[in-house]
Copies of this chain bind each other. A is one copy, B any other.
Amino acid sequence: MSLIVQKYGGTSMGSPERIREVAKRVARFVKEGHQVVVVPSAMAGETNRLLGLAKELHPDPSPRELDVIASTGEQVSIGLLSIALMNAGVKARSYTGFQVKILTDDAFTKARILSIDDANIRKDLAEGYVVVVAGFQGMDAAGNITTLGRGGSDTTGVALAAALKADECQIYTDVDGVYTTDPRIEPDARRLATITFEEMLELASLGSKVLQIRSVEFAGKYKVKLRVLSSFTDVNSTDMGTLITFEEDETMEQAIISGIAFNRDEAKITVLGVPDKPGVAYSILGPIADANIDVDVIIQNASLEGHTDFSFTVHRAEYKRAMEILQSKVKPEIGARGVVGDDKIAKVSLVGIGMRTHAGVAAKMFRVLAEERVNIQMISTSEIKTSVVVDEKYMELAVRVLHKAFELDKEPTQETMKP
């Protein structure tokens, strides 16, 4: 007998019919002898409907009240799922975040979990109940209702699995696992049976939106075995989706490259003719940080006659604001020659834990792109990823040729594995 936490997303909970299917799946695990804690999201569309009502009443609604409103979506889900479970012959009991209780900080709409009191859950599990806990929500020390932000139900699932020392946290969604890249871009994309936590982190943060990034960090911190599965397979399917593992636990061989991530969410900014002297990077990025604008890739070119060009990327939504700050404030202050930008860029990243010990990945990447005449505008590397910024129009081509060149459509062989 094992203890499993199962999280079901909004699409999986989208209608009474879908909720019945979830109940059947949970009932199967119970019949197999497992203890199950279920964390459902709000029914698809419900959170947006509720927040839309709030927006009609105030251009900038109180975050505290938004959480009071938004948290009801999951509360409805736990009640409905518990009722469906009972109809499937399974003893079930629901808990709101408040009732568990899941204590968070007081950062309304983006709260962080501080602690979980698992006493009630353990007692119910021991008595043979399936425990249904509302995802996405908690309460702060003052008793206010809080929410964890979009995708927060994943975090609730992982946090509960950590608190209960569950054997596995299963994330049921409308995709059946993690792929080498987005199959809508590359039809030969292959599903990975396992992926390391660090690779997953890179793939999630780079745009493979299977899991909420904070939940993956959480899983890593507490060593929760995380599995991504589809809730749209047959209830009795033995498909095991993708398991997210922790490198130190793994003895199996690992492919050099696990997948290709990409995003179109960024814009590139270059400050031209910057005097090449100490503190200049701070003079440029300080005001950007003060405006709460996150910076991703940063590049400083070699100095030419005491002047250099300084480039970085920001989220596309912040592009205009960042340009204004640079034009009006930074440029005159540091005496730069000019500021130019481009919001029609894309970032493509190779991700793989095997890259650490395998030279030549970056070189091969650049060669493949060069052969297709894809101009590389910026390069950024870390231990387990190599990213390039290219013109947005080349993004899909770049993903496809790299996928083929690194043979991601094929099961890993000895040749593409490292010991």
Contact = CB atoms under 8 A, between A and B. Distances in A.
Interface of A: 16, 19-20, 23, 50, 53-54, 56-59, 61-62, 64-66, 68-69, 71-72, 75-76, 78-80, 82-84, 86-87, 93-94, 96, 98-99, 143-145
Given A58-B84, A84-B58, A65 B79 contact: yes
Contact of A80 (B57, B59, B71): B57
A78 to B, nearest CB: 6
A80 B98 CA distance: 20
A23 B144 CA distance: 22
Given A61-B83, A94-B65, A75 B72 contact: yes
Given A16-B57, A57-B84, A99-B144, 16 more contacts: A23-B57, A53-B76, A53-B80, A54-B80, A58-B86, A58-B87, A62-B83, A64-B93, A64-B94, A65-B80, A65-B82, A65-B83, A68-B75, A69-B76, A69-B80, A72-B76
- Interface of chain A: mostly helix, strand, loop or mixed: helix
Contacts of A19: 57
Interface-centre pick from A72, A75, A93 (highest chain B CB count, 10 A): A72
Interface-centre pick from A58, A66, A83 (highest chain B CB count, 10 A): A83
A71 to B, nearest CB: 8
B68 A78 contact: yes
A50 B99 CA distance: 21
Contacts of A57: 16, 19-20, 23, 80, 83-84, 87
A125 B404 CA distance: 67
A69 B75 contact: yes
B83 A96 contact: no
Nearest to A43: B53
B50 A76 contact: yes
A79 B87 contact: no
A62 B78 contact: no
Number of copies: 2
Contact of A86 (B62, B76, B94): B62
Contacts of A68: 75, 78-79, 82, 94, 96
A134 to B, nearest CB: 9
Contacts of A143: 99
A143 B143 CA distance: 13
B62 A16 contact: no
A290 to B, nearest CB: 28
A83 B62 CA distance: 6
A120 to B, nearest CB: 8
B79 A54 contact: yes
Given A57-B84, A87-B57, A79 B66 contact: yes
11 contacts: A16-B57, A54-B80, A57-B83, A58-B86, A62-B82, A64-B93, A64-B94, A65-B82, A72-B75, A96-B145, A98-B98
A65 B86 CA distance: 11
Contacts of A72: 72, 75-76
A27 to B, nearest CB: 13
B75 A75 contact: yes
A75 B86 CA distance: 25
A54 B144 CA distance: 27
Closest 9 CB pairs of A and B: A69-B79, A72-B72, A68-B79, A16-B56, A58-B87, A65-B79, A57-B84, A61-B83, A58-B83
A66 B79 CA distance: 7
Contact of A16 (B53, B65, B84): B53
A58 B64 CA distance: 34
A201 B71 CA distance: 38
A87 B58 CA distance: 6
A17 to B, nearest CB: 9
A385 to B, nearest CB: 41
A56 B23 CA distance: 13
